[in-house]
Amino acid sequence: MDKLDSELLYKIADLHGIPEGSYNIRKDGKSLARSSDSDIEITSRKDGKEGIDIFVRPGVKNKSAHIPVILTQGGLLDVVYNDFYIGKDADVTIIAGCGIHNDTCGEARHDGVHTFHLEEGSTVRYIERHYGEGNPEGKKEFTPVTRVFMKKGSTLIMEATQLGGVTNTDRLTTASVGKNARLIIKEKLMTSGDERAVSRFRVKLIGENSSVDVVSRSVARDRSYQAFISDVIGKNRCFGHVECDGILLDEARIVSTPKIDAVSPEASLVHEAAVGKIAGEQLIKLMTLGLTEKEAEDTIIKGFLY
Amino acid sequence: MIELKNICYSVTDEHSGKTNVILEDINLTFPDNSINVITGQNGSGKSTLIKLISGIETPTGGSILYNGEDITGKSITERAKMGFTTAFQNPIRFKGITVRKLLDIASDHNNNLAGLCDYLSVVGLCARDYIDREMNDSLSGGELKRIELAMAMAKNGGVFLLDEPEAGIDLWSFDSLTKLFTRLSGKTVLIVSHQRKIIDIADNIVLLDKSGAPVVGKREEMLPRINENRNVCSVIEGENANG
């Protein structure tokens, strides 16, 4: 692992080196390092596809697994399939994410297809961070797919963050939420230049008392484009809340498309969306506290996203 | 000392082109070490006056002097750094910005719990319950208003511009609010208010009137005048106030 690798790992996973516990570090399409134990076992897939299977033993508590991916070459398309099997009543944190350093003018792209199977009563905190850097002419692209199957009483908290340098993202998250299960998604997104980011959420609330809470906060600068598309289907007595807040700067554009479908008359589904420039009164308030207009704008954006 | 010299402020309707004069040829002096309550009917320009002094609005005529220096062209930020502290009538909400962060910005340093407690306890709030909360709609109107005042206390400075500080204050007594003003002794304090209990602590009262020049005087001189003036009495909220 060289200095560049270490810096990328720090940016996407706060790692200062090799993490403790189970991990799989993937670099340029190959596994760079792996460790696994009986609580969280990581194995290569057996179906011939690139990727890993992660098995979390039932009842395991307060354990974490790091599975970061780094790409340091242009002209590389890395497609990986990772499946997570979370045992009954386990409670773990999984830190994923991908950093691309592309010094070429070509394209570097990572497509991560992650499938979560949560057994009854299990809890997962899933943290995913995407980051790009290098030659501004070189493309850094992500097409992450996250599929979630949640059994009775399980909880998934997904925190997806992308704060710069990614030319193009097209994210798809689908979930099937069982009885008394809770899905919480927090998305934070910032685009600039000519970047483009699309987030799609498709959630089926199947079980009684299932719930989903999606909160997306984004900032679009320059000429960048973002689209937020959510589709929540309530098939039982359930609760769904989707909130999309976007701050527009310069010539940027944000499109928010909500769909809520109460198949069951017992379903309660809410969608809230607000897109616009920073409110002038917010800038003025911070300026009356002594900040310049630029400092006030930075403070508002930082507070909004972090 | 703040001096307003021949201040005019008018707005022009973009569609009709019609000009609405809000303040015309206003001359006022606010001495050091004084509490000045600005009162008057709705639409008489009270809040506008505060916005002109804090730099949020620019007068269409006249000048504003602070300790003899013409500050009419100075920005909001410049005036804030000179010691002008403004508490808004309607507190501003910020998604993602905590009460702690706002108090740190206001005081221009990172505070420890004891420091934050000092600012919040004077407005009747317990720091532990509030510092990590976002300044957003999860707080009630009364809580937001009190935090707005706590920010003003944290910001400090020589001039306090408080626009209806009592508005929306819930479950908190007026006595506590007026006690808060006693912490501002030695400052130049301008308070826009209709509340009798606040008017009662004023050194000077400015009565703005749409139809004429403002009437200014010491509290004891002005009180009979306010009581006599039915138009003004109708907007003074008195004995039935909270606390």
What does the longest C-alpha to C-alpha distance in chain A come to?
Answer: 62
Which secondary-structure segment (H or E) carries B150? helix B141-155
| Residue type, position B214, single letter | P
- For B163-187, how does the pLDDT look when each residue is reduced to its tens digit (9 = 90+)? 999 887 765 677 888 888 888 989 9
Instruction: Lowest mean pLDDT of A179-183, B160-164, B196-200, name the range.
Output: B196-200
Using CA atoms, how far residue A226 sits from A167, A217, A218, in Å, is: 12, 11, 9
- Residue-wise pLDDT for A34-58, tens only, equals 999 999 999 999 998 999 999 999 9
Q: Above 60 in pLDDT, residue A154?
A: yes
| Statement: residue B4 has pLDDT above 80 | yes
Nearest by CB to A287, from B80, B94, B102: name it: B80
Confidence category of residue B108, pLDDT binned at 50, 70, 90: very high
Is any Cβ of chain A less than 8 angstroms from the Cβ of B41?
Answer: no
Token pair, residue B192, equals 């826009």
CB-CB under 8 Å, A245 with B95: yes
Judged against a pLDDT cut of 50, whether residue B239 lies above it is answered with no
Nearest-CA residue of chain B relative to A293? B77
Q: Output the pLDDT for position B243.
A: 34
B155 — contact with chain A (CB < 8 Å)?
Answer: yes
Which ipTM value was assigned to this complex?
0.94
Average pLDDT over residues B194-202: 88
Residue B233 has pLDDT above 70, yes or no: no
pLDDT value at position B105? 97
Angle at A116 between CA A112 and CA A121, to 5 degrees: 155
3-state secondary structure chain B: CEEEEEEEEEEECCCCCCEEEEEEEEEEEECCCEEEEEEECCCCCHHHHHHHHHCCCCCCEEEEEECCEECCCCCHHHHHHHCEEEECCCCCCCCCCEHHHHHHHHHCCCCCHHHHHHHHHCCCCCHHHHCCCECCCCCCHHHHHHHHHHHHHHHCCCEEEEECCCCCCCCCCHHHHHHHHHCCCCCEEEEECCEHHHHCCCCEEEEEECCEEEEEEEHHHHHHHHHHCHHHHCCCECCCCCC
User: Which amino acid is located at A267 in the chain?
Assistant: A
pTM of this prediction?
0.85
pLDDT in tens, A110-136: 899 999 999 999 999 999 999 999 888
Residue B242 pLDDT exceeds 50: no
Is B240 a residue whose pLDDT tops 50?
no
- Judge: B92–A281 Cβ closer than 8 Å, yes or no: yes
Q: A residues 167-206 near B, CB within 8 Å?
A: none
Quick one: angle between helices B141-155 and B99-107, nearest 10?
A: 30
- Residue A151 reports pLDDT greater than 50: yes
* pLDDT at position B236: 61
The share of chain B scoring above pLDDT 90, in percent, equals: 72
Q: How many CB pairs under 8 A join A and B?
A: 57
pLDDT at A142: 92
Q: Give the CATH superfamily of B31-58+75-233.
A: P-loop containing nucleotide triphosphate hydrolases (3.40.50.300)
- Give yes or no for a contact between A51 and A83, defined as CB atoms under 8 angstroms apart: yes
| More confident site: A134 or B99 | B99
pLDDT grade for A294, boundaries at 50, 70 and 90: very high
A residues 39-78 near B, CB within 8 Å? none
B128-168 confidence digits (pLDDT tens) = 999 999 999 999 999 999 999 999 999 999 999 999 998 87
Q: Which residue has the tokens 């409670």?
A: A91
CB within 8 Å: B95 and A290: no
From chain B, pick out residues whose CB is under 8 angstroms from the CB of A284. Answer: 56, 76, 92
Q: Is the pLDDT of residue B189 over 60?
A: yes
Q: What's A193's DSSP letter?
A: T
The predicted structure's pLDDT at residue A216: 95
Mutation for B interface: A247, A285, A305, most B CBs within 10 A: A285
What are the distances in angstroms from CA A268 to CA A238, A285, B106?
Answer: 6, 37, 41
User: pLDDT tens for residues A8-23?
Assistant: 888 888 777 777 889 9
